[in-house]
Amino acid sequence: MAGNSRVRLNAGERQLLLVVGDIAAAIVGAGVALILWGQLDFLGPTADFVRTRAPWFIFLPLLWPIFMVNLYDVHRAGSWRATLRGVFFAAAAAGVAYLIIFFIQEGSIARRAILYFLTLTVALTLVWRWIYIRVFTAATFMRRVIVVGAGEGGRALLAASNLLDPKPFELICLIDDNPEKQGQEIEGAQVVGTNGDLLGLAQGKGVTDIVVAIQGPISGEMFQALLDAQEKGIDIVQMPLLYEELFGRVPIQHLESDWILRSFVDQVRVSRIYALIKRFVDIAGGVFGLLASLLIVPWACLAILIETGRPVFFIQARMGQGGKHYNIVKLRTMFKDAEPEGEAIWAMEEDPRVTRVGRILRKTFIDELPQFWNVLRGDMSLAGPRPERPELIAQLQKEIPFYRARLLVKPGVSGWAQVNYSKGASIEGSAEKLEYDLYYIKHRGVVMDTWIILRTIGSVFGFRGV
């Protein structure tokens, strides 16, 4: 079987397929709901009826993917349990949004029409997602991969992929020129040959992709073997790039020393248009956030006063873009004197220093609302790496490679790490969060910023804050 004769879908293609399928399900749901609404109201689904009573129906299928945003992670989309939870959560969020609009402008949208739409769209979306899981996560649509290099890079890729369900690709074997590694089993895969065996194995096993996980120079023989495979239609991809695509983060422990220059100087050139759009959205979001704060923060302050008394707010230094220091104001979520020596202490999961009110404020991100003032000032953005305390940055940049690179952009109220990673803080946790932060810096743009904001809103309504 030739390498290029096999159907395979990468992560971006799968996401597009999911979006198109969800929109199609919502279009059918909206159409049938319109017919039911018209018939039951004895009006009939005529052109006049649509024009006078239901012109807003045409927007419903386009809004549905926004509520489904957390299910466009291809790994989550491959799990039926996560799909069920995500679809019903999307329906609940859409219902809440409808109720808000309905009570602001009573009677503007008929309740029966929305009930029909949500019921039908949820059912059709579940059918479509079940088909996706049964068909498009099957072996026929998966990449068949040979990993070249059985060292630390190859081991890291396989270890990470083994934690995912369903698997992101079908691994055939590993190839390595080191005779001592022949026959070894690494993360459940066998090392079965050298560069001389690469092309024959790839063609004989119907391989679609060869992943180069060699750190350091590649021998002339291996380089020629890779070129021969590419000429046969097999895709050659470097391990860090595949790692980014599959996991949405950068493998900082397996990068060359000049990676920062190649990624952030040679490849990433943020346009002025993006910078202007980002600042405009930040200003609009900052104003909206402060207005929301006026409605919510007084009640949070009252709850803090009742439980633990003053102070309600606290001020901390943070390090922003380019190492610039600035202060943030947060609602107090911990008991008084949580850091009696004034020394920065790692926050933990189920941190005993957090009050009962503080847990609710953290879960809903209400404690972060005052930071919208920093967004308006220009210290922060809506989306970006979360700001860190200067003393912790001084420690972490000694322990973690490339750590200071996160200061290349403005810190954010929320970020790519926050919507993808929720474990407690530590050196190891900070290293993994950095992998997400560097991925964001490398791939940042209007679409990614929008995705982060939408997923953050979903986290707020789902009480997923940390």
Query: Using one digit for the tens of pLDDT, what is the confidence trace for 362-381?
Result: 877 888 889 999 999 999 99
Mean pLDDT score across all residues of the chain: 83
Domain borders along the chain are 3-136, 142-247, 272-461
Average pLDDT score over residue span 440-460? 85
Q: Mean per-residue pLDDT for 136-142?
A: 81
Identify the CA nearest to 213 among candidates 246, 172, 262, 254. 254
Place 1 in a pLDDT band, splitting at 50, 70 and 90. very low
pLDDT at 32 over 50: yes
Host H or E run for residue 76: helix 74-77
Residue 268 has pLDDT above 80, yes or no: no
Report the pLDDT averaged over residues 164-181: 86
- Which DSSP symbol is given to 379? S
% the chain with pLDDT above 70: 85
The β-bridge partners of 209 are 145, 235
Residue with tokens 């052109």: 47
Q: Is it true that domain 142-247 has CATH number 3.40.50.720? A: yes
Nearest to 365 by CA among 465, 256, 265, 236: 465
Return the structure tokens found at 68. 């489904």
Residues contacting 185, CB < 8 A, separation 6+: 191
Q: How far apart are CA 369 and CA 291, in angstroms?
A: 10
For range 168-185, the mean pLDDT: 88
Q: Are 287 and 280 in contact (CB under 8 A)?
A: no
Using DSSP, state whether 2 is helix, strand or coil.
coil
- pLDDT, tens digit, for every residue of 191-238? 998 888 889 999 898 899 999 998 778 888 889 999 999 998 899 999
CB atoms inside a 10 Å sphere around CB 339: 10
Mean pLDDT across the stretch 254-260? 74
- What is the pLDDT confidence band of residue 51, given thresholds at 50, 70 and 90? low
Coil, strand or helix: which one is 14? Answer: helix
User: Scanning the structure block, which residue is given the tokens 């609602």?
Assistant: 331
Residues 6+ apart with CB under 8 A from 37: 45, 54, 110, 112, 113, 116
Rounded to whole angstroms, what are the CA distances from 310 to 89, 100, 313, 363?
Answer: 37, 34, 8, 21
Residue type for position 432? E
> Hey, what are 399's tokens?
């322990």
Tokens, residue 59: 């927007």
pLDDT of residue 92: 87
Reported as a single tens digit per residue, the pLDDT across 98-112 is: 777 767 665 556 677
